[in-house]
């Protein structure tokens, strides 16, 4: 869980940090749409260039941003292998053995999917690196305000998401603490076959589950003792307001979406 970067905030003063959380959420949605609309390397390269510029303006260390990739490295490898050996091309295969075959199209498609997953993971982690859980909660609640007209519990939903984001780093630290305690008692998590390794993690999972339930119970008691009522017209300490920075970011997002659509229409697919 050391590789889990989602939910961790990197405190620093930067252009991206000062953006309105509502704009950052909308920009992330538009960016993800652009990644899936991109069907050629040119469009995907434009998306990557925008992400690199955003990382530079966020002033978050590059190593810290790409640390999130380690958490999905297994998914990337499985995706690459499946598409590399089982994607059927039109011409003769470059390599063939039994039911396995590597085509030129399969190589291109595997690389394309790997880049797409990398961009998705990095852009999602960058959002939490540059936005506090409180600001993210306020942004989600503000964007979902129209749902209040149909009696949808917007504030409660935003509160649940905020608490979940706050619990990710806490559970990461708790996991490391329990693991070190078990190692001090002679537990071995590195040797043995896969089944033995999975069984070795049971002494970690059970205390971690109990700790999470205890934290949730204590948080509920603390909120109840303070007579917390979420949806009763609560005021905000900080009012969300759009600025010239948000206008520039919105223009970049709109230009990116338009550019990807144009390249999708006129350049065609990767194959």
Pair 96, 198 in one domain:
no
Question: What does the DSSP 8-state code read for residue 15?
Answer: T
The reply to whether 7 and 124 lie within a common domain is yes
Q: Are residues 34 and 66 in the same domain?
A: yes
Residue 122 is assigned to a structural domain of this protein: yes
- Is there a single domain that holds both residue 121 and residue 29? yes
CA distance 204 to 218: 21
Q: Are 89 and 190 in the same domain?
A: no
The DSSP secondary structure of 221-252, one letter per residue, reads HHHHHTT--TTS----SS-----HHHHHHHHH
Look at residue 187 and tell me if it is in a domain. yes
What's residue 233's pLDDT? 67
| pTM for the predicted model, two decimal places | 0.78
Kindly report each contact of residues 151-154 with a partner whose C-beta sits within 8 Å and lies 24 or more positions away, as own/partner: 153/230, 153/231, 154/231
Average pLDDT over residues 126-137: 86
Mean pLDDT over each residue of the chain, to the nearest integer:
83
pLDDT digits (tens, 9 = 90+) for 181-239: 888 887 777 777 777 777 777 888 888 888 888 888 988 888 888 877 766 666 777 77
For the record, the structure tokens of 118 come out as 């990398």
Query: Residue 195 belongs to what domain range?
Result: 165-230
If asked whether residues 54 and 104 sit together in one domain, one would say: yes
SS3 of residue 101 by DSSP: strand
> 62 is written with which tokens?
């590059």
Region 82-106: mean pLDDT is: 72
Residue 109 reports pLDDT greater than 90: no
Q: Is residue 139 part of a domain?
A: no
């Amino acid at each position: 869980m050391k590789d889990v970067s989602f939910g961790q905030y990197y405190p620093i003063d930067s252009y991206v940090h000062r953006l309105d959380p509502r704009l950052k959420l909308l920009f992330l949605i538009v960016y993800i749409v652009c990644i899936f609309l991109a069907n050629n390397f040119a469009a995907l390269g434009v998306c990557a260039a925008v992400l690199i510029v955003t990382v530079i303006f966020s002033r978050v260390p590059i190593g810290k941003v790409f640390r999130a990739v380690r958490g999905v490295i297994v998914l990337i490898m499985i995706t690459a292998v499946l598409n590399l050996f089982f994607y059927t091309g039109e011409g003769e295969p470059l390599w063939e053995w039994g039911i396995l075959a590597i085509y030129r199209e399969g190589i291109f498609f595997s690389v394309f999917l790997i880049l797409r997953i990398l961009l998705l993971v990095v852009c999602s982690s960058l959002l939490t690196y540059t936005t506090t859980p409180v600001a993210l909660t306020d942004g989600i609640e503000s964007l979902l305000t129209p749902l209040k007209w149909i009696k949808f519990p917007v504030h409660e939903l935003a509160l649940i998401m905020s608490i979940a984001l706050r619990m990710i780093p806490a559970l990461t630290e708790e996991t490391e603490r329990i693991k070190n305690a078990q190692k001090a008692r002679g537990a071995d998590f590195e040797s043995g076959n896969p089944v033995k390794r999975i069984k070795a993690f049971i002494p970690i999972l059970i205390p971690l589950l109990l700790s999470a339930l205890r934290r949730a119970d204590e948080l509920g008691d603390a909120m109840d003792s303070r007579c917390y009522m979420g949806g009763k017209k609560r005021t905000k300490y900080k009012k969300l307001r759009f600025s010239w920075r948000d206008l520039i970011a919105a223009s970049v997002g709109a230009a990116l979406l338009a550019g990807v659509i144009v390249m999708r229409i006129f350049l065609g697919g990767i194959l």
